[in-house]
Amino acid sequence: MRILLVGAGGVGDAIAKIAARRTFFEQIVVSDFDRSRAERTIAWIEARHGPQGDRFLAESIDASDPDNVEVVARRHGSTHVMNAVEPKFVPTIFAGALAAGADYLDMAMSLSEPHPTRPHEESGVKLGDDQFAQAPDWEKAGRLALVGMGVEPGLSDVFARYAADHLFREIDEIGTRDGANLIVTDEAGNEIFAPSFSIWTTIEECLNPPVIWEKERGWYTTEPFSEPEVFDFPEGIGPVECVNVEHEEVLLMPRWLNAKRVTFKYGLGNEFIGILKTLHQLGLDSTDPVRVRSEEGPVMVAPRDVVAAGLPDPASLGPRMTGKTCAGVWVTGLGVDGFEREVYLYHVSDNAWTMAEYEAQCVVWQTAMNPVIALEMLATGAWKGIGVLGPEAFDAKVFLDLMALPLEEGGYGQRWGLEDRLA
């Protein structure tokens, strides 16, 4: 397996660092628009693990140009293209990978467009619609596009498939629930506002109309931040208020899993919700460029890009962050024994551990772990497929078994939890 990794930001950097401990691939080309970021990642790997030779190479790439993605992939004989940049680049990387004759993985899917007249009742263009529309092209080429293979979506979808296969006879609801107790401080130790993931992506998913799926109704939308609930997260995180957010799980799970309802709720907190609402009111969430005066003359700038530029790089927050983040799936219905059951399957990532082991903050590290495991599943043949598929299309148990197996036994050493929640 020869992998072209597109993007050496927080998640891409962590993907390469995690993969450096594995032996399932021949080569990873770490590429970025800023080649120095790719070089920095490889320098860290070599400092930690010794010289890598051609096992890791740095490259420049323009993720917005499908032809350039194809050229770089062909130059290195890449068999797999791993997309680790913002979802606005999905269409071009997706096209470049297919043109290069490579398989493709991403962690976030092609962007949505709200319904033109009823945005908070009906879905318009849904997340991933553009990619699923091209499934016949991937099938004809005999290639696989594994979409939504991060942590959420990704590991959450694996948990849902595991629950459907091994824990439930009939499922009422699959609800992804994400919460954390992370705190970021400034140099003086004061708590500050600093999102732990890409603010560009966070604005996109939090201010778009959330999508819900119901068997009798199909996909429909609600107002942002709707249906607040307090969810109790494990391992010391505790109760966190969660709200509906647009997310890929709701668009993926119903395609393969039989459930009466599918939701996604995110623990944002009142401060974060207030900031997001203010950005929207001021138009600072817009991706449409506006004319801005500068010393060199007028320039066109997207307001959302300005917001992103003004906040700390999420990859840089690790040393000033404390706490844990939890990704998981809450499932209700009838268990395999025919009795009512309610479970929460989850994985917790501790920032102190990820920083000590990988110098990566816990949110990006937790996201990065899952595509590496998925690539190993594909390399060994444990997962096989062609076309455009989500994580639910594959055997969950082999994934979770490898994830939990200790490092010294050839696994990833990441314990996952299963809580029965009925009294």
Q: What is the mean pLDDT of residues 303-307?
A: 85
Q: How far apart are CA 26 and CA 334, in angstroms?
A: 45
Which ranges constitute the DSSP H helices of 263-417? 270-281, 303-310, 351-358, 362-380, 396-404
**331-340 pLDDT tens trace:** 999 999 999 9
Cα(205)–Cα(209) distance, rounded to whole angstroms? 8
Strand-pair category, 417-420 with 218-221: unpaired
Token pair listed for 386: 């062609």
Handedness of CA 176, 181, 187, 193 (dihedral sign): positive
User: Considering the entire predicted model, what is its pTM?
Assistant: 0.92
Query: What is 155-363's CATH topology?
Result: Dihydrodipicolinate Reductase; domain 2 (3.30.360)
Flag whether pLDDT at 60 surpasses 70.
yes
Annotation: CATH topology of 2-150+366-415: Rossmann fold (3.40.50)
Higher pLDDT, 134 or 196: 134
pLDDT score for 196: 67
pLDDT exceeds 70 at position 349:
yes
pLDDT computed for residue 115 by the predictor: 96
Name the burial class of residue 404, with classes exposed (0-12), middle (13-18) and buried (19+) by CB atoms within 10 angstroms of its CB: middle
Question: Has residue 116 got a pLDDT over 70?
Answer: yes
Strand pairing of 103-105 and 144-146?
parallel
Vertex 198: Cα angle to 196 and 204 (nearest 5): 120
Question: For 18-34, what is the mean pLDDT?
Answer: 97
Please report, for the chain, the start and end positions of each structural domain, with discontinuous segments joined by +.
2-150+366-415, 155-363
H-helix or E-strand containing 231? strand 229-233
Q: Looking at the predicted structure, is the pLDDT value of residue 95 above 80? A: yes
